[in-house]
Structure 1
Amino acid sequence: MAATQAAGPVYLDALGPRGAYRTRVPGVVPDVSGAEVARLSLVPPVYVARAMAALRKADPVPTAGLDALLAAAGDAFASGTIGGLGVREYEHLVSRASGTPLTVVRAATQGTARFVALARASAERGRPQGSVSDLRDVAVRGGHGVWARCGEVFAVNASGNHPGVHRLWLEALALGYRVAVRPSRREPFTPYRLVGALRRAGVGEDQLVLLPTDHRAADTVVRGADRAVVYGGDDVVARYAHDPRVLPQGPGRTKILITADTDWRDHLDTIVGSIGDEGGTACVNTTAVLVEGDPAPVAEAVAARLSVLPSLPPQDERAVLPVCPLDRAVALSAHLGAVSAGTRAWLGGDGIVDDLGDGSAVLRPAVHQVDSADAGQLRAELPFPCVWVAPWSRADGIAPLRDTLVLSALTRNGELLDALLAEPSIANLYIGDHPTYWMAPGVPHDSYLSDFLMRSKAVIGAL
């Protein structure tokens, strides 16, 4: 794997079924100021097709010794030199290219390493109790369910908003799928490092590939797989909504509900952290807070806390806010201004751009109060700490809380919690003082991935 930290940019090669592959004219990966920091080999559709065919011919990663392999890969990812990059060089590049604060990247490194080490155990948590995972299990002799893959090849069309998005596909590899990862051109460093670490630990080159491509070839990656996860906005969700082979991962629209039986002041740290932790860029960051009663005091308190966060370059140890190219920051600020028309701005009403003077800008937080629980702004999700605070009443019901990846419910009302749990469009329900960004290996993110990858078959008899 050829990636070097020389005077020039880092080279990130495609990692195909026959090893590293460098194209003659690689794509440029800039940092947030526009300076070139890496060159990424973008492979054509014919290369993708051949790689996907090789995955289909390969055997699964053996289950024997898998936990040890994953533990070694996790260690290599967290502390090793992969493709010529040490972990500190890797983290610095991720921060500069994606604009994610360095402390967030460092925490993600340790978190991802933990998910790698526990990928098999996490995948196993999704197995139905009535099924076994091995055809040779003695229970099969008298008739039993056996957990089996729905296909052989899994593809990921990844996003670059946060390094943690690459934790999901690890379970597919642990379940025996051969995996193709199409990295984001904004932040290809994490998947490059993760694939490299897994290959070093013993995963075959024809079992796991990294296929950087343009958007045209990305469709070839998805079409060549039996199952695929695709990240994007509402347009991506709509595009793949009726394709049973594709699991779209769209906007999180994560929310907090505060009912009148709870004093929000006791939970202000959790509320503010849910909005701003991870730089406010993750799908599990809160973008709407609904308050039973007057939402103004909540909005005012949140705005006061977020307003004092410093504006710093992403690689600064004290940075907590995301950074992006100045022109993108200006466009996002204009978009926020249009979307927030008619709301009460507690923070960010005059814009959210803080020019760093090098072609990049900090995205400052925004807090807006809306008039009703069904305000259209509650569906707006932006890549920085931006929250809409709304009034909510029992008469509004759970309709305003639908279409939510994570809902933290600060309430003591058991009937309401039952209704929220029963609502299909609320993926995760956190009860009480738990931040919306909380995640753990073995706990479903948007259901268990194995619900999408596996099925139970009735088997009777013995070998």
Structure 2
Amino acid sequence: MPGLISLDALGPKGTYRARNRVTVADVAGLPVADLGLVPRLFVSRTMTALHRAESLPAAERVAALARAARIFTEEVVGGLSYDAFRHTVARVSGVPLAVVREATASIAEAAERAEYMVRQPRPVGAVGDWRDPLTRDGSAVWTRRGNVFAVHAAGNHPGPHSLWLEALALGYRVAVRPSRREPFTPHRLISALRAAGFGDDQVVLLPTDHEAADGILQGADLGLVYGGDEVVRKYQGSTVLPQGPGRSKILVTADADWRDHLDTIADSVSHQGGVACINATTVLVDGDPAPLAAALAERLATLPSLPPEDEKAVLAVQPVESARAMERFLLAQAKGTTAHLGGDGVVDELSAGGAVLRPAVHELPRPDARQAGVELPFPCVWVGPWSPADGVAPLRESLVLTVFTEDEQLVDTLVEEPTISNVYLGDHPTYWIRPGVPHDGYLGEFLMRTKTVIRD
């Protein structure tokens, strides 16, 4: 269609214009881009080409990633300036523009600091190359578990595209299947990587339909997928690493006053529009949860409803139909809880098209209520009671747990709990992260292994 941004596959021999095309629309339903979907045969041949390809030497990979960061942020790529690209991502994904800016800056930082990032998960007893002098007396060497890495990317947020850059830095050839919801970020990033020196057969973009999608994972040595509980159950323990719901939580024990930490709690729920797995889904408090729920509802109710490309937007926007479906799901799930905010609905339709998903705050009757496991892609939080007698059970299966407590024995228990990935003590919001610290463990723990090398 004339006037649309053209997004084609980036295959092992360059750009490939597939005959099967789909339209990518913005939150108002207006066409923005024309995306080509490659067939299964093209996927198969591409994955074979990746296996046959040679990776750049380590130093060249690091230098190329740094160049790619500059191209990604400074140059016109695919006909779009950096500003136009970010505006398009906000308008199509519904993620607020300020959040898109922060996320894309994080992608560039991950590329610039690739050498530092890949060094963090390496065991202290291992070296990075068999030529290291330590191998003369015998040493562990940090080596890849495979050569080809596949990614089924998420479309709810640009940020996760910073993660798979680590695989490229480690010498994997990488195949990315973009989300139809937001294919712009991976298309721009891979275009920048190729312009920076990575070969066409070292990093590829493979938009596909569902039928051909599994071929990308099947053709790789290792893979990364994003999805819900069903995806986690399907791939757990396999050569594919699932990234599922975060179910991040906050706990306030009796020796802490939640009033002193309301800013952190509210920010953990609403930051980045509440779309991320590191936003707080559940808040548990030792005592009556009603006052905290009421104060949190009062705070979140003041957030404005604005189009995603507005400079002051802080809440996510979706097409009206999908927003209404999300609202119906929430109201059905919330039965048996006490609504402090959003009890009559969370959809606020915009005059320019699309609908803002406004915050919801519901009070739980007990800490193990089933709703505590319901995670939705907007500021939706369940506030419930907790006591030491409840123990760690209601806090399990958390990507992040922020804790306000003076009880060091409790902290010991939480840090040692295998199903809690990250523990933050004090006024550190659940979304806190920085380059070099693990998100859900280091990706390098999955991509790499140690092997002993001794030489004369």
Q: TM-score range by the shorter chain?
A: over 0.9
Q: Aligned pair 1:248/2:236, yes or no?
A: no
Q: Structure 2 regions of 5+ residues with no counterpart?
A: none
CA distance in 2, matches of 1:177, 1:391: 47
Where does residue 422 of structure 1 map in the other structure?
Answer: 416
CA distance in 1, matches of 2:161, 2:114: 12
1:43/1:213 contact within 8 Å kept:
yes
CA distance in 1, matches of 2:56, 2:151: 18
CA distance in 1, matches of 2:399, 2:75: 34
Where does residue 177 of structure 1 map in the other structure?
Answer: 172
CA distance in 2, matches of 1:322, 1:64: 40
Q: How much does 1:458 deviate?
A: 1.1
Q: Aligned pair 1:215/2:210, yes or no?
A: yes
1:206 maps to which of 193, 201, 210: 201
Where does residue 263 of structure 1 map in the other structure?
Answer: 257
CA distance in 1, matches of 2:220, 2:126: 25
Cα-to-partner distance string for 1:385-411 (whole Å, 9 max, x where unaligned): 000001011000001010011111111
CA distance in 2, matches of 1:270, 1:50: 50
Cα-to-partner distance string for 1:180-233 (whole Å, 9 max, x where unaligned): 000000000111111111111111111000101111111000111111001000
2:72 maps to which of 74, 77, 80: 77
Q: Aligned pair 1:148/2:143, yes or no?
A: yes
Q: Structure 1 regions of 5+ residues with no counterpart?
A: 1-5
1:61/1:174 contact within 8 Å kept:
no
Cα-to-partner distance string for 1:11-61 (whole Å, 9 max, x where unaligned): 011011111111123111111111110011110111111111111111123
Could you list the structure 1 runs, at least 4 aligned residues long, displaced by more than 3 angstroms after superposition. none
Greater shift, 384-393 or 108-117, is seen at 108-117
CA distance in 1, matches of 2:51, 2:74: 32
TM-score, normalised by the number of residues in structure 1: 0.97
CA RMSD of aligned residues (A): 1.2
Where does residue 63 of structure 2 map in the other structure?
Answer: 68
Where does residue 3 of structure 1 map in the other structure?
Answer: none
SS of alignment partner, residue 316 of structure 1: coil
Where does residue 90 of structure 1 map in the other structure?
Answer: 85
SS of alignment partner, residue 37 of structure 1: strand
Number of residue pairs matched by the alignment: 456
Q: Aligned pair 1:408/2:402, yes or no?
A: yes
Q: How much does 1:7 deviate?
A: 6.5
SS of alignment partner, residue 277 of structure 2: coil
Where does residue 276 of structure 1 map in the other structure?
Answer: 270
Aligned pairs (5 A) from 1:186-201: 186-201=181-196
Q: Aligned pair 1:309/2:303, yes or no?
A: yes
CA distance in 1, matches of 2:221, 2:115: 20
Q: What amino acid is aligned across from residue 85 of structure 1 in structure 2?
A: L
TM-score, normalised by the number of residues in structure 2: 0.98
CA distance in 2, matches of 1:35, 1:216: 26
Greater shift, 58-67 or 448-457, is seen at 58-67
Q: How much does 1:358 deviate?
A: 4.3
CA distance in 2, matches of 1:208, 1:166: 13
CA distance in 2, matches of 1:419, 1:39: 51
Q: Aligned pair 1:226/2:221, yes or no?
A: yes
Q: Aligned pair 1:447/2:446, yes or no?
A: no
Q: What amino acid is aligned across from residue 365 of structure 2 in structure 1?
A: D
SS of alignment partner, residue 280 of structure 1: coil
Cα-to-partner distance string for 1:367-390 (whole Å, 9 max, x where unaligned): 000011100000000111000001
CA distance in 1, matches of 2:195, 2:299: 44
Greater shift, 353-362 or 418-427, is seen at 353-362
1:101/1:321 contact within 8 Å kept:
yes
Q: Aligned pair 1:26/2:21, yes or no?
A: yes
SS of alignment partner, residue 374 of structure 1: coil
1:119/1:441 contact within 8 Å kept:
no
Q: How much does 1:440 deviate?
A: 1.1
CA distance in 2, matches of 1:411, 1:163: 34
2:255/2:406 contact within 8 Å kept:
yes
1:161 maps to which of 133, 152, 156: 156
Q: What amino acid is aligned across from residue 84 of structure 2 in structure 1?
A: E
2:231 maps to which of 230, 233, 236: 236
* Sequence identity (%): 58
CA distance in 1, matches of 2:134, 2:156: 45
Q: How much does 1:241 deviate?
A: 2.0
CA distance in 1, matches of 2:61, 2:171: 11
SS of alignment partner, residue 83 of structure 1: coil
1:320 maps to which of 303, 309, 314: 314
1:119/1:171 contact within 8 Å kept:
yes
CA distance in 2, matches of 1:429, 1:180: 33
Greater shift, 64-73 or 339-348, is seen at 64-73
Where does residue 131 of structure 1 map in the other structure?
Answer: 126
SS of alignment partner, residue 278 of structure 1: coil
Aligned pairs (5 A) from 1:280-359: 280-359=274-353
SS of alignment partner, residue 328 of structure 1: helix
Where does residue 370 of structure 2 map in the other structure?
Answer: 376
